[in-house]
Every structure is written in C-alpha cells, then in structure tokens.
Amino acid sequence: MARSSGSAGMIVTVLTALSMGVVSFFAYQASAALDKPSGSDKPSASPSEKESDEKAKQQLPKRSGAGERVVYALERDRVWIVNERRKVERTYRVWPSSVDPKPGTYQVTSRSSHVTGSDGEAIENVVRFASVGPTVIGFSAALDGSKPKLRPGEKTGGVRQRTADGDEMWVFATIGTKVVVTP
C-alpha cells in the first residue's frame, strides 16, 4: 500500500524538527562546557578531598580585616561579604579586571545603578572603591550576566560579578563600606 505524499512530508518535517532540537541541545551543552575550567592530568580527588578543597578556597583570607566589610582576594578571584558579626553572608568567584588595586583597605566611594562598561556592555550595580592611575576599580554585573570581553592590552577596572552576586553587593556595599583587598 503506497503512502500519500502529504503523510511522507509530515514525517520528514517532524524528523527534521526533532534533529534540529537535538543539535541545538548539544550546541548548548558544548557552549556551557566552554565556561567551565578544563580538567587536568592529575587523578581526581575523592569526594571528601574535593569538599575540603572547596571549603579551603571559600575560607576568608587571613589578615582580611575585621568588622563589616567586603573582602576581595586577587589571587583567588573571589569576594566575601562579611556582616558586622564577622559572619560571611556570601562568597563567590568574580572575573577580575585587567588592572588590580594594590592590597590594602579602601572604602566605597561611589555607586551607579546602570552604566555602560568599558567593554561596551550594559552593566548594573557598580560599586567603586579604588583607582590605579586613571583606571577606576569597582565591582559590577552585566545586565545579561555575561563575563567581560576584554581586548588585549585594554586597561579596565571592572571586577565583573554574576547578576545575583551584583544584586547582593549593591544592597550591602553602600558609600563608606570598607573593602579589603588581599593578595
């Protein structure tokens, strides 16, 4: 019994749509994997070693001040928000700027809710606390959550955060809030 051309056309359309969906899914998986750090040749650690390594990375750096403050560790590309009871309210990784402030204690000097970053991205929750020559240093988040797109040799002071982290920083770090930068 022969099938009608309409039925065959429907099957081809459905199969094409399904295959495009599968290809899109794999493309998404591949792009998400690009943002993750690559593996190493070292044997993987046991779950308990991985947990203790992660806890060690998240521990507040030594000599990072006292009291309510924001702590920014340059070598770890990590920020801690510490409340007045010396409790870490939040810690998270950041994308560093191309110009680093010197380790030391600073204060939030200015804030902007929405501006355009030096990479041309719309950014929000900008919290500025230092400058190195003409480069102003501060925390910010891209509206679309993207990481900075720096050109080689470009000098920028924007320490980029994910959007949710930027929201938390905005609420916490008002004018005059202490910012401690550690190596």
For the chain, domain boundaries: 1-31, 65-182
- For residue 166 the two structure tokens come to 């930027």
Residue 119's pLDDT band, with cuts at 50, 70 and 90, is confident
What is the reported pTM? 0.70
Task: Say which range, 3-17, 87-101, 105-119, 159-173, has the weakest mean pLDDT.
Answer: 3-17
Residue 153's pLDDT band, with cuts at 50, 70 and 90, is confident
Q: Check residue 10 and give its pLDDT.
A: 56
Q: Are 115 and 166 in contact (CB under 8 A)?
A: no
How far is Cα 179 from Cα 69, in angstroms, rounded to an integer? 6
Task: For residue 131, give the 3-state DSSP assignment.
Answer: strand
Q: Check residue 33 and give its pLDDT.
A: 41
Whether pLDDT at 145 is above 60? yes
How far is Cα 161 from Cα 140, in angstroms, rounded to an integer? 6
Q: Check residue 103 and give its pLDDT.
A: 98
Whether pLDDT at 57 is above 50? yes
Whether pLDDT at 128 is above 50? yes
Average pLDDT over residues 80-91: 95
Task: Say which range, 5-19, 116-130, 162-176, has the weakest mean pLDDT.
Answer: 5-19
Residue 177's pLDDT band, with cuts at 50, 70 and 90, is very high
- Please, what is the average pLDDT of the chain? 81
* pLDDT more than 90, % of the chain: 56
The domain 65-182 belongs to what CATH superfamily? L,D-transpeptidase catalytic domain-like (2.40.440.10)
Q: Where are the alpha helices (DSSP H) in 35-80?
A: 47-58
Residue 51's pLDDT band, with cuts at 50, 70 and 90, is low
